[in-house]
Amino acid sequence: MMPSEPDWNDWRWHMRQRVTTLDALTRYIQPTADECEGIRRTEGVFQWSITPYYASLMDAGDAACPIRRQVVPLASELAPDIVGVEDPLEEVAHSPVKNLIHNYRDRVAFCVTSQCAIYCRYCLRKRMVGEASFMMRRSELQQAIDYIAAHDEVRDVLLTGGDPLTLGDRHLDWLLGSLKAIDHVDIVRIGTRMPVKLPQRITPELCRVLERNGPMWLNTHFNHAKELTPRAREGILALLQAGVPVGNQTVLLAGINSSLDALRELLEGLVQARIRPYYLYQAQVIGGTAHFRTPIEVGMDLMARLQGRITGFAMPVYVLDTPFGKIPLNRTYVLGRCGEFVIMRSTRGQLWAEPNPRPSSAVAAGLVDEARLEEMEWPDGVETIEVGGVGVAAGAGSAVSPGAEVGA
């Protein structure tokens, strides 16, 4: 039964009617055996839900549909993988108070909720999304606001989650107003996927809240051109008319946007919708996401092939997020490949060993030189590689562990 027009235009209706069961999913697609098994086996392990709007974008008969692959669980999520990596960015270690991540001197990421409208299968925060223990009471939000107010070095606050726009307008108004009242906070940003997965959330009331509490920046998360629907474009236009600049952060996902044609179509579509491409993220090493990860060389090759083929402001920065901040994935920072690891230098001077599959493409493979740890030129003071807290002498061999920190 089709919803009424008022229901379809009501973002709260979509939140109440989210697809969370196999039976509900069959109203939109013909699930494959792999999808059915994935839903059954991931129950109690990984959250999943899909808004009716986003479900309506799925190709009912194509299991390779780029929309479908982002949100429908697969059995491969429980395949052997690098286990135990729930917090690859060590966000908990950088949290002075609950859900407030202070990794950069002048910036904090404030996870104001663990709720999302949909749960992406590759999510960086699989450890927390949808989990009640990560929800924020008003008193806990105030504690984080008080921390920001007490640290005058913090001038940039990113509201993230979960998805901040799952909060109601009054709640957001209070939160944004509290941050605006802090003299040393110059920039407030919102990281949200609502324009992609539920553009009905971009209401006139929300836009008034954002405009009232500006200046405000918003980064959203389109991964494929198919997501740039007329309804999504309407939501983006409403944000722009409210004085909210919109950027986009894309995750490089194998089989979804990892081809030149798919990535170029997305980037050009973003610019046409007046969305500035910001970052292209290398998919993080998180348990259950191996089938989404591409070799870093493939991403570098894509960026090289895009250069000169699209306008300059359509080019995102290709990065890997680490506990030492974002590392641009180019020859300035990528030092070499050592077996199944890519060795790189952070912008803070530390070295990082990222577990990453070897590329099959000869063109891509040529972008990162093969290297052995004992032959690498280490920065002054670097003597050990931290592997799970155990120091290994630099140059003593080529064995490293997932996400190994290379430091003094």
pLDDT at 349: 86
DSSP code, position 310: B
Q: Which helix (H) or strand (E) holds 69?
A: helix 66-71
Shortest CA distance to 285 belongs to which of 81, 30, 101? 81
- Please report the pLDDT score of residue 79 as a whole number: 75
Pair type for strands 156-160 and 107-111 = parallel
Question: How far, in Å, CA of 75 to CA of 326, rounded?
Answer: 31
92-124 pLDDT tens trace: 555 778 889 898 889 999 999 988 999 898 877
Alpha-carbon torsion angle 185, 329, 222, 18, nearest 10: -90
Which regions of the chain carry the CATH code 3.20.20.70?
Answer: 1-294
**CA 360-364-368 angle, 5° bins:** 110
Quote the CA–CA distance of 288 and 329 in Å, as a whole number: 23
> With a cut of 70, which residues of the chain have pLDDT below it?
1, 80-94, 125-134, 361-365, 371-408
**Summary mean pLDDT of the chain:** 86
**Beta carbons of 387 and 400 less than 8 angstroms apart:** yes
Q: What is the pLDDT of residue 165?
A: 97
- Distance, in Å, from the CA atom of 47 to the CA atom of 28, rounded to the nearest integer, reads 19
Rg (CA), the chain: 21
Please, how many CA atoms are within 13 Å of residue 47, restricted to the half-sphere of its CB?
21
Residue with tokens 């971009």: 202
Question: How far is it, in rounded angstroms, from Cα 136 to Cα 108?
Answer: 16
Q: Which residues of 13-31 are buried (b: 16+ CB within 10 A; e: fewer)?
A: bbbebbbeeeeebeebbeb
DSSP state for residue 316 in the 8-state scheme: P
CB atoms within 10 A of CB 379: 13
Region of 169 on the Ramachandran plot (φ > 0 left; ψ -120 to 50 alpha; else beta): alpha
- Give the pLDDT score at 131: 57
So what's the pLDDT on residue 371? 64
| Angle value at C-alpha 7, between 6 and 11, nearest 5 degrees | 110
CATH for 1-294?
Answer: 3.20.20.70
Q: Please tell me the pTM assigned to this model.
A: 0.88
* 8 Å CB contact between 129 and 180: no
